Structure 1
Amino acid sequence: MYFSYIAIENMKDKLDIFRIQTNNVAPEKGRVLIAEPFLPGNYFNRSVILLVAYSEKGAVGFILNKKVDLAIHDIMPGFPDFEGDVYLGGPVATDSIYFIHKLGKKLPGSIHVLGNVWWGGDFEVLKQQIAAGQINTSDVRFFVGYSGWDSGQLERELKEDSWLVNDVDEETVMRELQGDSWVEFVKKVGQRYTMWENFPENPAMN
């Protein structure tokens, strides 16, 4: 059976399962955005995004489940030899590297996100600590680019049922995640969205 994307959009208008009812969970720093099944784009399709900043001025986040098959020293010449995971963080500033970590105030300039998860800090100090063997690969996650929303933009997307908002724990944020981890995050939201798990990523190919 074949589906066109127009048919999918019509189906979404009619089926209640695509009307998100959990967005009484407000977006805030330390929560995740889970893409609805047919959100288009190479970055946001089936993505899970950790919000590291949220205010009336906008939001910043990193995609947690789009891992690339490269180490950080492959991307940045001169970086210490380190096999820490690298992910596509989002479509903004893709010529820059960002990171989250579990180092806390040991890294000057870090911003607390949730639990023992922190965002950014002094990059040169991070490199020095890595070169000295003081940081494990599980302590830090690198991102190429980031995901950003201007004031009111994310709220509009939530009203359009583009994202589920849910809580997340630090262990999940810092462990290795792949594209199919999207299903795991959907399951955590509740049974209402069970059918989301079964829709093909590309309906036209079914």
Structure 2
Amino acid sequence: MDTDTTSLKGKLLLAMPGMGDPRFHKAVIFMCSDNIEGSMGIILNQQLPGMVLGDLFTEIGVDIPTDENSKQPVMMGGPVETSRGFLLHTMDYDSAETIRVNEKFGVSGTIEALKSYASGQSPRNVLFALGYAGWGPGQLSQEILDNAWLVVDADYELIFNTDITERWARAMSRHGIDPARLSGNAGHA
């Protein structure tokens, strides 16, 4: 059990308008881990152009029987290790290799997890990404202090049932923030 109440693990990062790095413009990032060694997350709203799960499954030799699953988009999870795949999923799938983020979400990166999903067994809800966003020790904390990110609770509906292009604006509005009223400039009192 994770008793660290300051950890960002299982939270969402929402890029603020003043984000200087264009790779993270309006990014919504699910935080998979956050500790003294660094942080790791998966971008949830940047689709790899023209790539769907069916294409990826064909490349790695996994049969995918349902059209619904094969048409699911593949996300650009971040700029680190872009050839490595990550399956963010609900905890109805839990293997020995699954990284349990919390009681609701897990991350798997094995062919077995992909085969289980492709066969329709489990997990029911997934988001597949290539690559991840990573930060060194203290780096993300400093970016948050610099107002680059807004931290909010992860939301099942937002992650699995919201259109990719609407995730950032929907996450902001669900937390009472009108994106049109946000300034790209930050300050401290």
TM-score bracket for this pair, using the shorter chain length: 0.7 to 0.9
CA-atom RMSD in angstroms = 2.6
CA distance in structure 1 between the aligned counterparts of 2:9 and 2:163, rounded to whole angstroms:
20
What is residue 75 of structure 1 aligned with on the other side?
Answer: 56
**Of 166, 174, 185, which residue of structure 2 is paired with 1:188?**
174
Maintained 8 Å contact 2:15/2:26: yes
2:102 maps to 1:114: yes
Say which SS state the counterpart of residue 34 (structure 1) adopts. Answer: strand
Instruction: Flag the structure with larger Rg.
Output: 1
What is residue 135 of structure 2 aligned with on the other side?
Answer: 149
**Of 81, 85, 89, which residue of structure 2 is paired with 1:93?**
81
Opposite residue 112 of structure 1, the aligned amino acid is R
**Per residue, is there more strand in 1 or in 2?**
2
CA distance in structure 2 between the aligned counterparts of 1:190 and 1:47, rounded to whole angstroms:
18
**Per residue, is there more helix in 1 or in 2?**
1
TM-score by length of 1: 0.72
Bigger CA drift: 168-177 or 139-148? 168-177
How many residues align structurally?
172
Opposite residue 185 of structure 1, the aligned amino acid is A
CA distance in structure 1 between the aligned counterparts of 2:78 and 2:105, rounded to whole angstroms:
19
CA distance in structure 2 between the aligned counterparts of 1:110 and 1:196, rounded to whole angstroms:
37
Structure 1 residue 188: Cα displacement? 2.5
Say which SS state the counterpart of residue 148 (structure 1) adopts. Answer: strand
Structure 1 residue 26: Cα displacement? 4.9
CA distance in structure 1 between the aligned counterparts of 2:159 and 2:105, rounded to whole angstroms:
8
TM-score by length of 2: 0.77
**Using a 3 Å threshold, how does the CA distance of structure 1 residues 189 and 130 change in structure 2: closer, same or farther?**
closer
Report sequence identity in percent: 27
Structure 1: unaligned runs, 5 residues or longer? 1-24, 200-206
Structure 2: unaligned runs, 5 residues or longer? 185-189
